Structure 1
Amino acid sequence: MNMAATFRKQLLADWSSLPHVILSNILDKLLEPTDHVRFAAVCKEWHALATDYNHTTQRCFKVHPMLMIPSESQGKRKLYSISEQKVYNNFELPQACNSTKRCCGSSNAPGWLVAVDLLGEHQLSTTLVNVFKREVTPIRLPPLYFNAESHWFMVFSPKVILSADPIANPDNYVVVAVYDRVSRIAFIKGGQTIWTYLEVYSFFTDAIFYKRKVYAVGQWGRIKSFDVNSKPVEESLLAHGRYRFSCHAHKGYLVETTKGDLLHVRRFLKQKDVPRHYYFHYEHNEFWTESFKVYKVVFDERDESIVEQVELKSIGDEALFVGDNHSMCVLASNFPGCQPNSIYYTDDLIELGEVRLVDDGSINMDDIFSLIKLKDETISNGPSDMGIFNLEDGSITQHYSLNPWHRNIPPAIWIMPLFNGLG
């Protein structure tokens, strides 16, 4: 054995024999999953320590959402790390994630997303795909009934969420779809062969699994709960009245905080370079997020009805992630570069086509579809309305900027990585 090889062997032995207290302190400072992977690759001793550390500290639940972005290669998508500001060019996503399909990320089942595509007339295919475990076979769900013509697919494709990891819970997970032109609800349980369709027409824009039930919210602030485990399904209107708020929102989201509270997030748009008093304008049809409002949903402990929704001017150290994904929340202090008291958003408002509403509440919901029919094209600025909204001062900054060629493509989405300390 030459001198260089002897030195390397001696150096490796010295690294592997470092006290566990010191190594644990090092792991405490490594906030990025990729850094833990590099740590575990040093030697067998460090690999075992990293595995034990992450299982003990539950670091697998402290992962920063990643952004799935369009790629310059036609029909491809790539992953982008917000905290690292890095595109993972060498990470190849499954074929089911190609850009001709609409995808929706899930936070209850890290690593999973739902790919949706046209299957035939009035039918959609829905496939559960694990992005980070390529050895896991995609789960093809039964066709989902789609009550619209095929050219409306990109406009009204469903938002789909999962209750749990299908691998860990093969017979005990639920898939919920918010779908169709009137935003109805459908669900299916693991192992079932047909969807259960709930005939509710409340223009829902988001849903969440919260405390053993499904909660859904629409643009007008009405919140409903569904007990999908009851027969028949129990439905409860928790926020009463036709208009819960005096102002129409373009999107409503439901997010569970790291403390277990339920937040109602409302998103408002403005039309670019058009006077505020104009409701619609077809020649200059670029619409951008203007602001968000966040409300804490307060429940009555006796009957689980909603007592009130309290507007929050601050969410503290929390950061919310909304878009074509299961709305999620993380503690910003766990991740370098993550902005606290902020909402990270992607463009998921394509369903209004070229006609995006800018309304003070005086426009009736029933008018929306007659306006949509006036134009049958996609929005001119593409799905590029993305950014970080700061709740404290109302400022908006960018987390990722799409290139000009990113027009008429499915939007970027948030996805929760799978991390167990081993990569």
Structure 2
Amino acid sequence: MDSSQNSSSFSSEMPDWAIMAEDVLLLILSHLLLSDIISFGCVCSSWYSVSKRKLKLLNITPKMSFRRRAPMLLIPTDDSNENSRNLYSLPKGEVYDLKLSVPVNSRCIGSSHGWLIYIDSLSFVITLYNPFYFGFSKGTIKLPAFLPAGKINDSKMAIIQRDFYTDLFISKAILSADPSSCSDFIVMAIHNERKGLAYYKAGEDATWTYVHDHPNGSPFYDIMYYLGHSFVALNNKGEAYICNVNSNSKTCQVMTEAVVATLAETTRRYIVKLDDGSTILQAIRMVQTLTNPDGTPFVDTVCFLMYQLVNQFQWMMVHNIGEGALFLGDDSSFYVKAADFPEVTPNSIYFTDDYPDGSTMNRRLYQYHGHHDSGIYVIWKKVVLYNYIPSPEPENIPSPLPVWIHPTI
């Protein structure tokens, strides 16, 4: 039922002054967070009616709450609207038809603390966006443009070339804290063809600070925030490097030894800290390349190898991660406790497509014939389970990558 129908049904039951009061309350609700709208409806029966009406306009049922839900996938909508997304619960196998809006002409390069990090394919401006503000301006934060990418921004460049260079210059970004509760947050990004580091300090910097390449020149694959003052980046050899941003450092120092493993060309590495903050894991994704009946290749995840940092320098192979789960992808790497989210399978790894392979550049740098390799690796069973299969892509129109998002509002 649309808003006009709602208004007519209300008008037959309520005096004009009451209808005006409800309209005022609806206007107020348009400036509140989802969690606040739900709390608003708990005050009294009349407020519940207004709250229910607002949630219906947002395609949300009153019982739907995201604050205590496990991370979900942000996926394309079935109507092919490139700036609209739904939510998919991998643990439950449910789709939430919310049609959340996302920035136009942008690619998601990170998901952190409930916020999405986008880079504009034309201007290379970085935008922090929280879709649970439902378009309210407080949910959009503009950051300075990423200057190195601007050097190759040519108005005559084809769209696919712009997409390629956007992917090339910013492959991943994370936040140090939730911008809605912390004004001095920091953004760290992996950028340029050498996969180096750069960071931006909100409320302090006017531009990005570019960290000099580390000595061995190996590209970084993943980053995490560490101990309240530093970022740790993991390279393709399994070495971790630390960068202290509080000191405005433009260099990073080696923190750990390398991890030798038999790696396929498209294998990725991830670094993530567990809930206690002191335990650091490195996960190595093992894949195999297969071929579809039509001759096109696709990649299939076989398993994950896991290493824990010990003695502040060495990596030791481990075969379980206890009663928690890892969520890994091109956009974020994080850990949750299964005790906090009963729908999560403990001692498991939830993953999405994530392949930075040169042979995929004819589509997009981080795609390899669609996004079908998303699933759950149950560590103790050594088995991969799949339950998210995206809709078929239109011819020559690649769909957006699925993105993990863990709502915090």
TM-score tier, shorter chain, comes to 0.7 to 0.9
Contact 1:79 1:88 in 2 (8 A): yes
SS at match of 2:339: helix
- Secondary structure of 1:132's counterpart equals helix
Alignment partners' CA distance in 2, 1:283 and 1:353:
18
Q: Aligned partners of 1:137, 1:331: CA distance in 2, in Å?
A: 27
**Structure 2 vs 1, CA of residues 335 and 36 (structure 1 numbering), >3 Å: closer, same or farther?**
farther
2:218 alignment partner in structure 1: 202
Q: Say if 1:62 and 1:237 are closer, same or farther in 2 by CA, change over 3 A.
A: farther
The aligned residue for residue 266 of structure 1 is: 284
CA RMSD, Structure 1 to Structure 2 (Å): 3.1
Q: Which amino acid aligns with 1:215?
A: V
Give the equivalent residue in structure 2 for 1:184: 196
Match of 2:354 in 1: 348
Give the secondary-structure state (helix, strand or coil) at the position aligned to 2:247.
Answer: coil
Deviation at 1:286, TM superposition (A): 1.4
Correspondent of 1:229 among 212, 223, 246: 246
Give the whole-Å Cα distance in 1 for the aligned partners of 2:390 and 2:380: 26
| Residue matched to 2:9 | none
Q: Distance in 1 between matches of 2:393 and 2:345?
A: 28
User: Greater CA deviation, 190-199 or 328-337?
Assistant: 328-337
In structure 1, the residue matched to 2:141 is 139
**Residues 160 and 390 of structure 1: CA distance in aligned 2, closer, same or farther (over 3 Å):** same
Does structure 2 retain, via aligned residues, the 8 Å contact 1:71–1:77?
Answer: yes
* Structure 2 stretches lacking a partner, 5+ long: 1-33, 48-64, 153-160
CA contact (8 A) 1:69 1:77 kept: yes
Residue equivalent to 1:385: 373
Kindly indicate whether the alpha-carbon contact (under 8 Å) linking 1:105 and 1:416 is maintained by their aligned counterparts in 2.
no
- How many corresponding residue pairs? 330
Q: Counterpart in 2 of 1:376? A: 362
Partner of residue 263, structure 2: 248
For the 8 Å contact 1:345–1:388, the answer to whether it is kept is yes
Alignment-derived partner of residue 55 in structure 2? none
Structure 1 residue 283 displacement after superposition: 5.1
Aligned partner of residue 144 in structure 2, secondary structure: coil
| 1:166–1:190 CA contact under 8 A, matched in 2 | no
2:140 maps to 1:125 = no
Instruction: Report if aligned partners of 2:288, 2:299 keep a CA contact under 8 Å in 1.
Output: yes
Shift of 1:167: 2.7
- The 1:389/1:231 distance shift into structure 2, 3 A limit, reads same
* 2:76 corresponding residue in structure 1: 70
Conservation of the 8 A alpha-carbon contact between 1:105 and 1:415: no
* Aligned-residue offset at 1:284: 4.4
Does the CA contact (< 8 Å) of 1:255 and 1:264 recur in 2?
yes
- Letter paired with 2:302: E
Whether contact under 8 Å (2:106, 2:118) holds in the other structure is yes
Displacement, 1:41? 4.1
* Partner AA of 1:93 in structure 2: L
* Residue 102 (structure 1) aligns with: 107
How much does 1:35 deviate? 11
Q: CA deviation at 1:63?
A: 4.1
Q: Secondary structure at the match of 2:371?
A: coil
Q: Distance in 2 between matches of 1:39 and 1:347?
A: 36
Identity percentage over the alignment? 28
TM-score scaled by structure 2? 0.72
Name the aligned partner's letter for residue 118 of structure 1.
Answer: S
**CA deviation profile, 1:149-182 (whole Å, cap 9, x unmatched):** 6352364242110001223221x21001112222
Question: Quick check: 2:299–2:368 contact (8 Å CA) kept in 1?
Answer: no
Alignment of 1:134-173 (within 5 A): 134-135=135-136, 136-144=138-146, 145-146=148-149, 150-153=162-165, 155-156=167-168, 157-170=170-183, 172-173=184-185
Do 1:343 and 1:390's aligned partners in 2 also have CA atoms closer than 8 Å? Answer: yes
After TM superposition, the structure 1 stretch with the greater mean CA deviation from structure 2, 59-68 or 198-207, is 59-68
Shift of the 216–325 alpha-carbon distance from structure 1 to 2, 3 Å rule, reads same
Q: Residue 259 of structure 2 aligns to a residue in which SS? A: coil
Relative contact order, higher structure (CA 8 A, sep 6+): 1
Post-superposition Cα deviations, 1:99-145, rounded to whole Å, max 9, x if no partner, equal x53214434x2x2110112235xxx2210112212421511111112
Per-residue CA deviation, residues 330-389 of structure 1 (Å, 9 max, x unaligned), is 11233233111110001121x31535xxxxxxxxxxxxxxxxxxx634556312211101
Report 1:52-91 matches (<5 A): 63-73=69-79, 74-75=81-82, 76-89=84-97, 91=98
Task: Tell me if the contact between 2:234 and 2:241 (Cα under 8 Å) persists in the aligned partners.
Answer: yes
Q: Give the drift of 1:405.
A: 2.4
Runs of 5+ in structure 1 lacking a partner?
Answer: 1-33, 48-58, 275-281, 301-305, 356-374
- Going from structure 1 to structure 2, the CA distance change for 1:41 and 1:218 (only over 3 Å counts) comes to same
Q: CA deviation at 1:234?
A: 5.0
Instruction: Report whether the alignment pairs 1:412 with 2:398.
Output: no
Distance change (3 Å), C-alpha of 1:40 and 1:395: farther
Distance 1:399 1:316, change over 3 A: farther
The SS at the match of 1:354 is helix
Decide whether the 8 Å contact of 1:220 with 1:248 is kept in 2.
Answer: no
SS of residue in 2 equivalent to 1:142: strand
* 1:288 counterpart = 2:303: no
TM-score by length of 1: 0.70
> What is the CA distance between 1:78 and its match in structure 2?
1.3
- 1:252 shift after superposition: 1.1
Structure 1 residue 323 and structure 2 residue 329: aligned? yes
Q: Secondary structure at the match of 2:164?
A: helix
Structure-2 separation of matches of 1:262 and 1:115: 27
Q: Where does residue 215 of structure 1 map in the other structure?
A: 232
Amino acid of the structure 2 residue aligned with 1:113: L
